Amino acid sequence: MHSFKKNWIWTLILIITVISCVAVLILHVKNWVTNDANSLGLRSGFYTIEIPLNELDSVMFVERIPPMQRLHGFSALDKEKGVFREFKDSLTDKKVHVFVDNINQNKVKLVYNDSTYVYFNLKDSVETVQLFQKLNSRTGALSEPN
């Protein structure tokens, strides 16, 4: 009976750890998009960014994201999420946010504040195209892929 009293603490810690890991995994499973009249919010687990639409410079479709150095984030199966730095700008501290749910589909490239990039797509390509068209109509930017 004495050993049972000692082990319940470790059992409780193990259960809390497993529940925490499952919760974090669920938060990273997909991109959560909030799109209102003034801003676009992208969230995926710990990674979040709020983009004011009046600061949006261009919106375009790209087939591939450029090679970048991962500062922190992860790649799992066909997901790519996190904060990156482009190789050509390795001397500066410009960060590129990537919220890609399906690496095989086209991605939306947002440029705001003159030189800050965000790449994203959603699991459903139709939703990605609809969001792209909504953003493109608000900014009047070019929609030709690079």
Please tell me the predicted confidence (pLDDT) of residue 144.
46
Question: Whole-prediction pTM value?
Answer: 0.77
- My answer on whether 66 and 85 are in the same domain is yes
* Number of domains observed in the structure of the chain: 2
* CB neighbours of residue 145 within 10 Å: 12
| Residue 146 belongs to some domain of the structure | no
- My answer on whether 2 and 55 are in the same domain is no
- My answer on whether 83 and 130 are in the same domain is yes
- My answer on whether 68 and 20 are in the same domain is no
- Structure tokens, 140: 């009047």
Please tell me the predicted confidence (pLDDT) of residue 140.
60
For residue 65, the 8-state DSSP code is P
- My answer on whether 73 and 116 are in the same domain is yes
- My answer on whether 16 and 63 are in the same domain is no
Please tell me the predicted confidence (pLDDT) of residue 146.
43
Please tell me the predicted confidence (pLDDT) of residue 135.
87
- My answer on whether 55 and 35 are in the same domain is yes
Query: Running along the chain, 146 residues long, what does each successive block of 10 average in pLDDT?
Result: 68 94 82 85 87 88 89 85 77 82 91 87 89 82 44
Q: Which domain does 123 fall in, by range?
A: 31-139
